[in-house]
Amino acid sequence: MVSREFFAVNWGDMRDSAVLLIDCPDRKGLVARVSGLLYEQGANILHADQHQDHDLGLFFMRVEFGLGGGKPSEGDGAEGARFDLEGFKGAFAPLAAELGMRWKLSADGRRPRMALFCSQYLHCVVDLLHRWRMGELDCEISIIISNHREVELLAAFYGILFKYVPVTAATRAEAERAQLALLAKYEVDLVVLARYMQILSPEFVAQYPAAIINVHHSFLPAFTGARPYHAAHARGVKLIGATSHYVTAVLDDGPIIEQDVARISHRDQVPDLVARGRDLERMVLSRAVRWHLDRRILCYGNKTVVFD
């Protein structure tokens, strides 16, 4: 087993910031009202992005701002005290109520804890573990759970806890109870289904709203189900794709986060589609996980806004 220290990443270099996510009915002056209040509170805005859904009349905004150097008070140095998040919440709440805003404020602190679920196909897990150790994913991977043992040695190599939870039709409810107990024990915030070839029950999904990310080996909504490459080949399509989406109670129907495609031809057979699809699956899943961890995604209806 390889020591964790072998892969040490300097997480201290990560930005000390907070992210404000907003959605509300669209109207004039929203950007000015939000940025003006942040300015009054002494925030240093690092990045801001916005989007309007003109058909629905909705406005979406993401603001990232620094936490070191808020509004100065008596006795503070020239750069002021650390930004007062609680004070900002108190000042922002009346404005949000006035403008009909749904909002979420999150700050750097305890890094999100992620659990990886997988079955026998390990290409997505391998990719995520590598990106994590390279510092691309700002999280802790607390546990890997699988209904097969193929990933056990890989988990040991990275020094991550592995739990084998077999699943059959007769034991599905019992297995999910065991899985949920593990997620609660290790305080998991995000569940990533990295080619986990089992359908989660609505009761399981309800425990993690907009916090279970799946990769589906098809360009949804086309070719849902377990054998999309076979279905795509039978249909004679010229493009195949992969989709990463949040999991809901309806199979393969959750809000889509990321998709990508590859061109194929009549010469490609099912094994060729599977091989080319693996690269797509790795890319779309890693992007979706990173955007979630970076707090760049807002869900509304069955859609997402993914901010730059």
> CB-based contacts of 6: which residues, under 8 Å, 6+ apart?
none
E-strand ranges in the chain read: 17-25, 44-53, 58-66, 102-107, 113-118, 140-146, 161-164, 190-193, 212-216, 239-246, 256-263, 297-300, 303-306
Of 33, 92, 38, 110, nearest in space to 67 by CA: 38
Q: Which of 252, 253, 260, 294 is catalytic?
A: 252
CA distance 190 to 210: 9
Asked if 164 and 146 count as a contact pair (C-beta separation under 8 A), the reply is yes
Instruction: Please confirm, yes or no, whether 252 is among the known catalytic residues.
Output: yes
- Cα 47 → chain centroid: 19
Q: Give the number of C-alpha atoms closer than 13 A to the C-alpha of residue 113, restricted to the C-beta side.
A: 15
Q: Are 231 and 240 in contact (CB under 8 A)?
A: no
Q: Which of the residues are catalytic?
A: 252
